[in-house]
A and B are shown apart, each in its own frame.
Chain A
Amino acid sequence: MSEPLLRVDDVARHYTMRRGLFGRPTEVRAVDGVSFSIGRGETLGIVGESGSGKSTTGRVVLGLEDPDRGSVAFDGAALPPIGTPAWRGLRARMQMIFQDPLGALDRRLPIATQVREPLDIHGLGEPTARDARVVDLLDRVGLSADHGRRFPHELSGGQRQRAVLARALATAPDFLVCDEPISALDVSIQAQVVNLLTDLQAELGLAMLFVSHDLRVVRQVSRRVAVMYLGRIVEEGDADDLFAAPAHPYTRALVSAAPTPGRRMVDRVVLQGDPPDPADRPSGCSFHPRCPVAASRCRIEDPALVELGGGRRAACLFAAPGADAPSRKVA
């Protein structure tokens, strides 16, 4: 087995928050002990609700934030400190696609200039050849040279995201983090951008970390998926297997809630309780207040991520792939 491109080891990231002006500071554990690895050309999808810490994970993995615990290794080497020239140079190999393409672009500059910027920053290729490369990049994401002359606000949402993609690919990176790249787009456009991503991935051999709350998209793009809840991975495994036979009660609920065309929704698991608040984690298993199969043990024991065989891991005392949810709940 070759060395994975990205290895994340027990990474944690917390923020300190004050409740009101006179309250005591509370620690918000956005990411609380996450480990995974991504091989070259491989795509890992991360799914979760808001507050699950998936966006923060993406930022830490890319080196945009320092983890408070654990380590991130890219291509065998630890990430350089943020803001150093080494860190800046490494940007050419790892890039990010954002949720809001309009915000990620400078509204004063035409698209082509912005796509060209990484080439200027890292000094790639002869200055005269850079414009040709920009045209090539635009073409690859499905934009014309005419689009390149326009300003961000003159393009549609889908076109803007393509432009951001072109800019991210300019330096031929090895690794791409996509943080909810299609959530802000119209549904009809989402499919096109997703297809573009999968095509590019196959073409360029990109490794990707695809973060989203939309299961169907994640399933289409990723080979492996990790499900996050309150800063931890609660289940991880092959994408198709995981969605066909989820092991963790949370994953089961998510999967059952996602509508599949041509099939009526059956066995829909509805979660009780409030959405997770990272500033106020429950004791024991963090999912137990909402879990349909929670037992009294779950309030005390915090389950670790355990191998279930077949490349699947889950963090639940009752985890079993494809198991039906027991209907009774032990108080």
Chain B
Amino acid sequence: MLRHLLFRGLRALLTVALVVTFAFVVLRLSADPALIILGPEASPEMIAAFRKSWGLDEPIWVQYVDYFRAILRGELGRSMRDGRPAIELVAERIPATLALTLPALALKLGVGVPAGIWASLHRGTVIDRAVMAMAVAGFTVPSFVLGLVLVLIFSVRLGWLPSGGQDTWVHAVLPIVTMGVGGAAALARFTRSAMLEVLGQPYIRTASAKGVPWARVIRDHALPNAAIPTVTIVGFMVGTLIAGAVVVESVFSWPGVGRLLVVAVANRDLAVVQCILLLVAATMVCSNLLVDFLYGFLDPRLRQGARAGAH
């Protein structure tokens, strides 16, 4: 078990290193940052000073090492617009994003998983078809369209809910719903497949034939086995929370990390973009590790295998 986790941990670190390298390569391959930030009218002295302060005149591998060291120290640069450290800017926006993404995640799990299970237990009936139709709708409607349509209906026509800003908790309702629906649809679809696959296994039939009440069969046999692949998907969703927030925060003018990213990209504010990129990588890696860890508990085969192998 420990060896397995160690291996996974190494892979996670490798992924983060890859992301950092990716950021570095892209950063340096792109046009000269000095010219971008300072603009075409900048004097040669200004450019030279800028390059020096950013270390852009060193050989490339020195820059790479410096870059890595800086990241490890937590120095992720300053925003090119107002000079504040990028980390600060990002950190202060995280609560706003969490205020949306966590309830949305709860929504995805709370609606998507039961819907998928329900559909799988009533396969082929109207219920199943209805759930699947809604799932398909959730998959094909992009979040910005959904958000705008919801605003159109609930805000403009009905006037029930506000359309933007962050003043009261009511303002959070539409963004959370928008974020949650797509994920709920995907989860419903996935959970249904996982359950169907498990229900088709011989051991389910055996349990039922033994006289175990159907509800017990579902609870004790089907659900735990279907949970295993579902955990992977949920882990993936957790890892990509920020990505989902990007569009929704833009639609609802919600001052979170996602919106910050869009603005930073538009302004070519490289330090902020890089900081958010690393944050996303870290989130993703952590959630993958957590999933692997959970797997070790959930899947007895993994527990056995490790124990049998380690002598």
Any chain A CB within 8 A of the CB of B40? no
Give how many A-B residue pairs fall within 8 Å (CB-CB): 9
Taking CB atoms, residues of chain A closer than 8 Å to B3 are: 22
The interface size bin for chain A is under 10
B50 to chain A, nearest CB (A): 53
A243 to B198, CA, bound (A): 55
Dominant SS among interface residues on chain A: loop
A21 at the interface (CB under 8 A from B): yes
User: Complex: how many Å from CA A23 to CA B310?
Assistant: 9
A23 neighbours in B (Cβ, 8 Å): 309
Closest B residue to A20 using CB positions: B309
Please, which residue of chain A has its CB at the minimum distance from the CB of B305? A21
CB-CB contacts below 8 Å: A14-29 with B:
20-23
Q: How far is the CA of A230 from the CA of B3 in the complex (A)?
A: 36
In the bound assembly, the distance between CA atoms of A38 and B103 in angstroms comes to: 77
Interface readout for B1-33 with A: 1 if CB under 8 Å, 0 if not? Answer: 001000000000000000000000000000000
Q: Min CB distance, A274 to chain B, in Å?
A: 23
Measured CB to CB, the nearest residue on chain A to B308 is: A20
Closest approach, in angstroms, between the C-beta of B215 and any C-beta of chain A?
38
Residues of chain A within 8 A of B305, CB atoms compared: 21
Q: In B275-311, which residues have CB < 8 Å from any A CB?
A: 305, 308-311
Minimum Cβ distance to chain A for residue B155 (Å)? 57
- Alpha-carbon separation in the docked complex, A23 to B311 (Å): 9
Nearest-neighbor residue (CB-CB) of A21 within chain B: B309
Q: CA separation between A20 and B3, bound complex, in Å?
A: 15
**Per-residue CB proximity of A18-58 to B under 8 Å, as 1/0?**
00111100000000000000000000000000000000000
Q: Which residues of A contact B311 (CB under 8 A)?
A: 22
Interface residues of A in 199-237 (CB under 8 A from B): none
B299 to chain A, nearest CB (A): 15
> Shortest CB–CB separation between residue A22 and chain B, in angstroms?
4
CB distance from A17 to the nearest CB of B (A): 15
Please measure, in the bound complex, the distance between the C-alpha atom of A22 and the C-alpha atom of B311, giving whole angstroms: 9
Among B182-217, those with CB < 8 Å from A are none
Given A21-B309, A22-B310, A23-B309, 5 more A-B residue pairs with CB atoms under 8 Å apart are A20-B308, A20-B309, A21-B305, A22-B309, A22-B311
Residues in chain B within 8 A of chain A (CB atoms)? 3, 305, 308-311
Chain A residues with CB under 8 Å of chain B are 20-23
What are some 9 contacts across the A-B interface (CB < 8 A)? A20-B308, A20-B309, A21-B305, A21-B309, A22-B3, A22-B309, A22-B310, A22-B311, A23-B309
Question: What 9 A-B pairs have minimum CB-CB distances, sorted nearest first?
Answer: A22-B309, A21-B309, A20-B309, A22-B310, A21-B305, A22-B311, A20-B308, A23-B309, A22-B3
